[in-house]
Structure 1
Amino acid sequence: MKKNNLVTVPVSEVIGVGPEKEKQLNELGIVTVEHLLEYFPTRYEDYQLKDLAEVSHDERVTVEGKVHSEPSLRFYGKKRSRMTVKVLVGRYLISAVFFNQPFAKKQLTLGMTVTLTGKWDQHKSTLTVNQYKLTPHQGEQELQPIYSVKSLMKIHTLRKFIVQAFKQYAEYLPETLPRTVLQKYKLLPRKDALYRLHFPNTQEEAQHARRRFVYEEFLQFQLKVQAFRKFDRENDKGMKQEFSESDVSSFIKSLPFPLTNAQDRVVKEVLNDMQSDFRMNRLLQGDVGSGKTIVAAICLYATVKSGNQGALMVPTEILAEQHVESLKEVFSAYGITVELLTSSIKGKKRREILSKLVDGSIDIAVGTHALIQDEIIFKQLGLVITDEQHRFGVNQRRVLKEKGESPDVLFMTATPIPRTLSITAFGEMDVSIIDEYPAGRKEIKTYWAKHDMMDRILAFIDKELKQGRQAYVICPLIEESENLDVQNAHDIHAMLQQYFAQYQVGLMHGRLAADEKEAIMQEFGDNKVQVLVSTTVVEVGVNVPNATVMVIYDAERFGLSQLHQLRGRVGRGSAQSYCILLADPKTEVGKERMQIMTETNDGFVLAEKDLELRGPGDFFGTKQSGVPEFKVADMIHDYRALEIARQDAEKLVASTSFWEADEWAPMRDKLEKTGVFSGEKLD
């Protein structure tokens, strides 16, 4: 057998794997021998004997001791029982507690040496036993790998197959990293690392083996990202947009307020990209209220002055309408035509717009996903901007990019993305950040209140309403039951209608049709509704400068980033705004979230904390964002390795040795399989 054939050997070739077991392995994604050998443990159970003097409270521990008393057994109901027995462990006399294991009473006899594993209660000198052996400690396989399994596959069966696979195929395992890299970072060779990850003698050995694969996974992904950037730029020449810089400067000076330093920096970065001959692929991050929209307007102005058209795609119709109004106002003195195009525009009006897009008499089109339909044709599309880009599927974004001949593309998001995530999810893009707020913007005051303070909160809302202000009241989206979610919103709506009888109280939730949601938001925007009760569908919505209060029920159910997005619905006018988090968190994480929210309004600080508390899945749907799933690497805890791998990949892709030297052939082969050379998108 050739070494490089191992990846194609079916797992059924492993001795002991019959048709039934092969099917079970396939359900775990294990199709080949390589899949089996790279099916890594999720954790390890430590069966090494410990001295109780060195064991922390609540730690899982294995001890050896002599039975020192007759077991005492008590029953609770038909099936529940609790048995206690004294065991002498070294110089400690401890209580060993067995729940629902009554059969152990006959097995344990005075003076017998036993091995017990369980949770140690240091304060009560008690061990809650979940595993036991009626023999002294054997000392074999003290560190047992635990694998994620499903269906009928058992962990011990999977372990047995992995052992057998090593016996049959270990000699064929190829090395994938050059010796120079292994020496530089003191990494184990691949064969040794694989074996020690599955069968370590100590935790340190497992960690050492894991280090190798963390680096390899990150390097492989970053090579893919950097290669994509390289080939995307080389093969995807953009249109060089030519505009007068002094003309753009004059336009900026005509705006009713000066740009912040951050806005000024970002505008320069985007305009430089537009003037270059490669296609811009840039992500613009800016917290809620940081002024991304005016940056977009300046860039759209520049593309129109270059003789091109611009497109701005947003997630909702009401947001599209809002952008059209603000852009028309900004461009009113410049003869730039801005038109709205959404799915609700039909008939003669729609045909007129489509015709004007083709002949170029519309300079800027603003719309929802309606902009990417086949019938939409631009005369000369120069710049595509997508707002809240992670809310559009990858394919939707790609189709809009393909509407012109290599238009420049700017993705905007108000979700601050931690650096850890932007390196991975958006590594193929250039990233610009607006990390400064416009002068005079009042910080939203945030308070954490318990549910028993509801009367005070209602009185506070009433005070704001009497001053002509408006308020949002958000109910949590309970995913397990849409009905419960709607009912919850209904109950609160009914209560508030009674309390605020002299005002209009609106209700919005995910069960309403899109046009119904749009209508309610429009009424709220026009101040025909003073209090809006809603689920999180309001998270990205209309700009209502008159709304000054945001109350979030059961706030502990939300992640920090989502709470921050909801809070950003207020604070858009000149009046002081408030966010009240209504929560009685039962967990430390919940309490920590509430505390952090009251301490900072900085979305980037919150994003980093959220990532630590909840992980990357809450920022974007993985399928849409390109956030990779690694087998062993964790981009939060292994952040330094991720940064090193990114730097290494950047240098390698730019070098000739990576593309030509034999030592890099295995990594090049893997890279080729990703489709990056044929221009396939990362996600």
Structure 2
Amino acid sequence: MRPSLLDPLFAPAASLPGIGPKNAKLFDRLLGKPEGARVVDVLFHLPYATLDRRARPKIRDAIPDTIVTIEAKVTEHREPPNARSRAPFTVLVEDETGDVELVFFLANHAWVRSRLPVGATRWISGKLERWDGRNQIVHPDRVMDADEFARLPAVEPVYGLTEGLFQRTVARAAEGALKRLPRLPEWIGAETLHLMKLPGFEEALRSMHRPAAPRDVDSAGPAATRLAYDELLANQLALLLVRARMRGLSGRAHVAEGALGRRLETALPFSLTGAQRKAVEEIRADLKAEKRMIRLLQGDVGSGKTIVALIAMVEVVEAGRQAAMMAPTEVLARQHYERMAPLAEGAGLRIALMTGRDKASERRATLAALASREIDIAVGTHALFQESVAFADLGLAVVDEQHRFGVRQRLALASKGEVADLLVMTATPIPRSLVLAYFGDMDVSALREKPPGRQPIDTRAMPIERLQEVAAGLARALANGARAYWICPLVEESETLDVAAAEDRTAHLRALFGDAVGLVHGRMNGPDKDAAMARFQKGETKILVATTVVEVGVDVPEATIMIVEHAERFGLAQLHQLRGRVGRGAGRSSCLLLYKGPLGEAAQARLETLRETEDGFRIAEEDLRLRGEGDVLGARQAGAPGFRFARLEVHGSLLKRAREEAAAALKRSERLTGEENRGLRLLLYLFERNEAARLIEAG
């Protein structure tokens, strides 16, 4: 139950002044709350900039191209010749040092006359410009009499808006939300407050919504840092509570001699890297312990995660239990199965594939075999974890591509009372600060080495105007037996437009290369997609035109060329993932990034980073610096923390302190009981880490 002290903040936003029923839907849209915005959502909608109206010069001293607030007398109206004229309504105002023209296009003439009557003194605020040798302000922000000017804040907050909402409406609602803020106990430790020189929570919010100077809304300033720290502290408390809950569920020791694992390793056509061996040892130690394993295995493209996972599954099977691997798509599930089946069967294990596309009779047979322990390892999509699937004795669940599997889902798995150990894999290297923020409930193994024999990839950037040269080079490569991916651009975040772009490019390439060109995109049904991939894998098609569906996991060792069209539209990590589809076989590989100039600063930095390095972990850190954590993780995922205040590229250094403070609090009281922890309990509800808050109550 949320504490009643917070009820005023969770009341509907429509109860605030200036919102009401008319604007409520606009605020719901602005604040991303289709189910209805609350007062807390308005309170947490912080300004991103300010209008500094502290400059109040005489007209002679006013600096062009700055916002000024001047006191002047209205001396002349210059009205358009008639109501239908497109000429502006101009008003001349002056003080003892000079004059300024106020320019109103398509204005309400009656309003201009009433607000600026000839002979009146007014305060006018807006951007001063020089035009044709004269001072002018086009559409002043404010026209005020002396009383209105007395109420004008010297520095005004500037909020993000949605169509139909105005700055003053949002500012008025934020002012109303501030008045609803109850007096809350301090939840940050005195030492942290002193060391970091942080203001109080209420003081920080007031400073942001009522800035006295532009620096008050700076994301690295004291107020924003305080709010970011609050959010990170709530996040770390939640992750540690989830971790304690999942570890608290009785784990089982998987005791095996390791003979099957050794047999599997001997059968491999290559030796494990040092990083793979270290990860295997860490996982084996977890499996042998009585506590439940919750481990994240992250590795760069082609670093060999699947083999590590297979060795872990073999270990569990040898201990007398079953293992399952869940992949986000049928293409990936099938690929994992095809890669693992020969190795598993060679070690004497029974392995099965299970996807949503299985016929009813096949599904029944697989379910029966799982329940009777005739299957040792099951590979599939999320269909594996539906209620109808019953394992005889599941000992290890491996989840591939954790981006589809957030904190909320990990909690759901824990609350079902499953005692299976959990290994979560990702092919996206994640910066250290993001690992702590998003996966702080898990232990982490990282594969930073590539298996021997992986070829370096020659990466080049080229303007898209040289498309004919690219096509000619591709023709020469195909004549020598090469295979190529051609990735089409992201178009306005619209899958329909993405598909249209891919179809257009396919038609263009088929005019040059005929039936050697295949196409795969996200709108195709599963069987058609699989068939297109299979034709490319077998070499029946030589060029595969694709949207980003090939980004993760698809493995065609014979493909040695990757062409990315409009590379400037893609994120760094995504480009790195796409490039990782080549360089998987013995042949020399190349990646061509086609861009449309002129390039912006960030796009240029992305392409240069890719040309310089193939180290996915370095690329991930650079991507975080350029784009922020939401985009790097694709973190609009279900179960992602969804930070409102914390920007890890700015506030990442606060994480370690927040983690230590959260751990110390839970060490004092694992359920945060007592008056001294009341603030932390409120913090969890205030930042809506409700699942974690319920864990405290449930014990």
Matches of 1:394 and 1:645, distance apart in 2: 18
* Residues 424-449 of structure 1: CA deviation (Å, up to 9, x unaligned): 22222222211111223111111111
Q: Which moved more, 1:536-545 or 1:480-489?
A: 480-489
Contact 1:120 1:128 (8 Å CA) reproduced: yes
> Residues 485 and 559 of structure 2 are in contact (CA less than 8 Å); yes or no, is this contact kept in structure 1?
yes
Q: How does 1:536-575 map to 2 (within 5 A)?
A: 536-540=548-552, 542-575=554-587
Which residue does the alignment assign to 1:61? 67
Match of 2:506 among 477, 481, 493: 493
Alignment correspondent of 2:526: 514
Q: CA deviation at 1:562?
A: 1.6
Residues 476 and 485 in structure 1, CA contact (< 8 A), matched pair in contact too: yes
Name which of structure 1's ranges 124-133 and 583-592 shifts more when overlaid on structure 2. 124-133
CA–CA distance in structure 1, aligned partners of residues 270 and 421 of structure 2: 27
2:105 to 100, 105, 112: 100
Residues 228 and 676 in structure 1, CA contact (< 8 A), matched pair in contact too: yes
Q: What residue in structure 1 maps to residue 480 of structure 2?
A: 467
Q: Name the SS of the counterpart of 1:228 in structure 2.
A: helix
Q: What's 1:383 paired with? A: 396
Partner of 1:280: 293
Aligned-pair distance for 1:246? 6.9
Structure 1 match to 2:236 = 222
Question: Taking structure 1 as reference, are residues 46 and 660 closer, same or farther at Cα in structure 2, changes over 3 Å only?
Answer: same
Letter matched to residue 218 of structure 1: L
One-letter code aligned to 1:49: A
Which is worse superposed, 380-389 or 141-150? Answer: 141-150
Q: Which shifted more, 486-495 or 58-67? A: 58-67
Change (3 A) 1:510 1:178: closer
Hey, what's the Cα distance between the residues in 2 that align with 1:212 and 1:283? 30
Checking the alignment, whether the CA contact within 8 Å between 1:489 and 1:535 is kept in structure 2 is yes
Which residue matches 2:545?
A: 533
**Contact 1:6 1:173 (8 Å CA) reproduced:** no
Report the Cα distance in structure 2 between the residues aligned to 1:165 and 1:316, rounded to whole angstroms: 44
Farther off after superposition, 113-122 or 140-149: 113-122
Question: What is the CA-CA distance between 1:482 and the residue it aligns to?
Answer: 4.5
Task: Tell me if the contact between 1:289 and 1:572 (Cα under 8 Å) persists in the aligned partners.
Answer: yes
Q: 2:605 aligns with which of 586, 592, 598?
A: 592
Distance (whole Å) between structure 1 residues aligned to residue 567 and residue 188 of structure 2: 50
SS of residue matched to 1:545 = coil
Deviations 1:60-83 (A, max 9, x none): 5336498999999999xx886689
Change (3 A) 1:246 1:509: closer
- How far residue 541 of structure 1 moved from its aligned partner, in angstroms, is 5.0
Deviations 1:442-475 (A, max 9, x none): 1111111112212221222222212222111111
Q: Provide the residue aligned with 2:246 in structure 1.
A: 232
Q: CA, structure 1 residues 301+72, in 2 after alignment: closer, same or farther (shift >3 Å)?
A: farther
- Deviation string 1:523-551 (CA, Å, 9 cap, x unpaired) is 11111111111222222353110001111
Offset at residue 298 of structure 1 (A): 1.2
Residues 137-286 of structure 1 aligned to structure 2 (within 5 Å): 140-148=152-160, 154-160=166-172, 162-163=174-175, 172-177=182-187, 180=190, 181-206=192-217, 207-234=221-248, 236-245=249-258, 248=261, 251-286=264-299
The equivalent of 2:628 in structure 1 is 615
Cα RMSD for the two superposed structures: 4.3
Match of 1:320 in 2: 333
1:342 aligned to 2:355? yes
Aligned to 1:524: 536
Kindly indicate whether the alpha-carbon contact (under 8 Å) linking 1:241 and 1:274 is maintained by their aligned counterparts in 2.
yes
User: Residues 388 and 411 of structure 1 are in contact (CA less than 8 Å); yes or no, is this contact kept in structure 2?
Assistant: yes
User: Quick one: distance in 1 between partners of 2:56 and 2:603?
Assistant: 34
- AA aligned to 2:442 is M
**Contact 1:177 / 1:666 at 8 angstroms: preserved in 2?**
yes
Partner of 1:47: 53
- CA shift digits 1:181-236 (9 cap, x unpaired): 433432223343333232222234454333322222221221111122123212x1
Match of 2:126 among 117, 123, 128: 117
- After TM superposition, the structure 1 stretch with the greater mean CA deviation from structure 2, 113-122 or 455-464, is 113-122
Count residues in correspondence. Answer: 669
Contact 2:242/2:692, CA 8 A, preserved across alignment: yes
Residues 360 and 379, structure 1, Cα contact 8 Å, conserved in 2: yes
Change in CA separation of 1:455 and 1:6 when aligned onto 2, cut-off 3 Å: closer
Q: Is the 8 A contact 2:186 2:679 kept in 1?
A: yes
SS in 2 for 1:624: coil
The amino acid across from 1:190 in the alignment is F
1:643 paired residue number: 656
Q: Secondary structure in 1 aligned to 2:320?
A: coil
Task: Give how far 1:86 is off.
Answer: 11
Where does 1:79-98 land on structure 2 (aligned, <5 Å)? none
CA offsets 1:552-611 (integer angstroms, 9 cap, x no match): 112222212221111111111011111111111443333332222222222222223333
Matched-pair identity in %? 35
Q: Which letter maps to 1:131? A: P
2:441 is paired with a residue of what secondary structure?
Answer: coil
- Give the unaligned 5+ runs of structure 2: none
Whichever residue aligns with residue 209 of structure 2, its letter is H
Can you give the 5+ residue segments of structure 1 that lack an aligned partner in the other structure?
none
Tell me the secondary structure at the aligned position of residue 527 of structure 2: helix
**TM-score, normalised by the number of residues in structure 2:** 0.82
